[in-house]
A and B are shown apart, each in its own frame.
Chain A
Amino acid sequence: MIKSFLSGLSYSVSQAVDSLSKNKLMAFASVVIVNACIFAFALSLCIIINISYSLDKLEKSVGIELYLGDTPTDEQIRSLKTQLEKIPHVSSVTYVSAEEALEKAESMWGAQSLEGLKEGNPFPRSFELKVDGIGSQKSVLAAVEALRKEFERVVANNIIITETTTQTTTLLTTTTRETTTQTTTSLTTTTRSLPYYYIKPRDRVASGRAARAVTTTQATTQATTVAPLGLPTPGIKSEAATESTTMYIPDVGADGYIYKGIEYISHAGLLTDTLIALDAAVKTIAVLVTLLLGAIAAGIIINTTRLTVMLRKNEISIMKYIGATDWFIREPFVIEGLLIGFVGALLPCALCALIYSRLYSYFNTSLDMLNTVVMLKPTGELFAVVTPVCLLLGMGLGAFAAYGATRKYLKV
């Protein structure tokens, strides 16, 4: 049984190869047509995948930052962290200490420009929240707001939210270390999407460690430089740094209450809304365009195959008369369709990959600035998806079309 199946298959394959080599022109034309269709399809697939890839990256970079006041104790912050982590759709909570914030700022703008800040660190402690999807941003924000009120009560009464302590005592120290690398990489994207890096108002910096802060030299003279918001920036020399920092003013509740726990919540609300709208639109268009191109490719491939089968309808009817089974007649055509689909899809994929890899390296070297907006997916990763999809489309359609086209002539 298996042996006869295999011998049948080997017959079909040799028959398919034979017929392809005998009808070279037709085979060539078919391959070229499939090439063109799949090329257009692959190209659109590349574009679509990249758009949603960029969007995803952008969406992931949109997080929520909670800037903490000086009042909460470490223990209170620890328990806040566990509370934050319990919020549904929050994928990660990273604690950033004042020192870490300063280090980051230094690594971005150079230690020199921040020299004056060493003593009176103006950076607040903060939490960076990552949300599992942009659609969850709103609900998470609401939950954070609720938590903030509760936290305020805790801070005001200097109590600890009970249930948490034992399991999380070590959490703060360990996780911050673990996540440092992750944070620094994500920081670049975070700050790119956020125009400013927030620091505490000057009077509050002074309040704790003022005495030493004033002793700084030249930097202090420049400390009065007017920042974009019209507020004095403490001790930052470089222009770039000045442009990238601003002060936050602690949020004020409805009754004029000034928050002491979570002083300020930063999130890109407008960006979020735009991204949500864009995401839906782009994904709909992407699916439509892919379907359309896929359908056009399918139509052309099916018609081409139909033609090749039609050219051999005499052969088919002769085979029917001498008692060939439908499958026996069909198999060589289907294998032929598979072969044409395979070659027809592989070539444009290779071409696309070549063009894309050039484009990719061009974007990543010459156009570094643009790279922050257009985030191209690495060639390998992209074509690990595009190539199988195209091969599947080409071979699937080739085989399906051959199957369908022979049907008609098999009804003898």
Chain B
Amino acid sequence: MIIFDSVSKTYEDGALGLKNVSIHIKKGDFAFVTGASGSGKSTFLRLLLKETEPDSGKIYIDGNDITALKPSRIPYLRRKLGVVFQDFRLLPSKTVYDNVAFALIITQTPKNEIKDRVPEVLDLVGLSHKHLSMPDQLSGGERQRVAIARAIVNRPPILLADEPTGNLDPDMAWEITELMEKINKKGTTVVAATHAREIVDKLQKRVITINKGRIVRDVECGGYGDD
């Protein structure tokens, strides 16, 4: 599903992003990416989103080399990658419903299909009753659930999350994690960068640890580790 082949990335200012990273994340995996601050976790996700380009190496999604993708095709790549951030990134002027529907509007989904799919996915994240609320009327956990709903409403094969629980208290964080696991069980490949030791330990999924741009640990089924 996702393959990194000897990928290196150094930023313009000389900061090291990734150094010779090769990894294979299979379809249906739930993978945590862990590591100290500044180790390169976000860089890993950013490369997948084609928000930044590697200096060398190749990245494949579904067998396609995305490093060779034309800029005009980037939007279509991103439609296959649901993405969730620590700061939720909802449109503050739109209701919960409209925030989710927006992802379908931009892919020019027919209106009646939008009407079916938005309530469906809001039900999945448990926010049906809040569909008319504005983002600023929601708790952090609820906002993140809206963001997840928006990320998966297009039914992308992959869900990327960059510290999805970073702004949440432990209870909320666990709820979000459970939600992501639920989505993963439905067949979506999930890659989540995180600092949340308890969650990683509790879930016992694949853990990829990065240190100074290199992969230093990769376990199929484990905890946060000891660093």
Contacts and interface: CB of A to CB of B under 8 A. Distances in A.
B83 interface: yes
Interface in B102-153: 102-103, 105-108, 150-151
B91 A322 contact: no
A322 B78 contact: yes
Interface residues of A, number: 19
Nearest to A314: B89
Interface in A315-345: 315, 317-326, 328
A319 B108 contact: no
Given A318-B91, A321-B83, A7 B102 contact: no
A324 B75 contact: yes
A11 B98 CA distance: 13
A322 B79 CA distance: 6
A7 B154 CA distance: 19
B109 to A, nearest CB: 10
Interface residues of B, number: 22
A317 B90 CA distance: 11
A322 B90 CA distance: 11
B226 interface: no
Interface in B151-165: 151, 154
Contact of B51 (A7, A326, A412): A412
A328 B106 CA distance: 7
A340 B159 CA distance: 40
B108 A322 contact: no
Contacts of B77: 323
B35 to A, nearest CB: 23
A11 to B, nearest CB: 6
A154 B94 CA distance: 93
Given A314-B89, A315-B91, A321 B105 contact: no
A11 B106 CA distance: 10
Contacts of A11: 105
A292 B150 CA distance: 49
Interface in A1-31: 4, 7-8, 11, 22
Contacts of A323: 75-79, 103, 106-107, 154
Interface in A97-120: none
A200 B151 CA distance: 98
Contact of A322 (B51, B72, B93, B106): B106
Contact of A321 (B49, B72, B107): B49
Interface of A: 4, 7-8, 11, 22, 314-315, 317-326, 328, 412
Q: Which 6 residue pairs are nearest across A and B when measured between Cβ atoms?
A: A323-B79, A323-B78, A324-B106, A325-B75, A323-B75, A322-B103
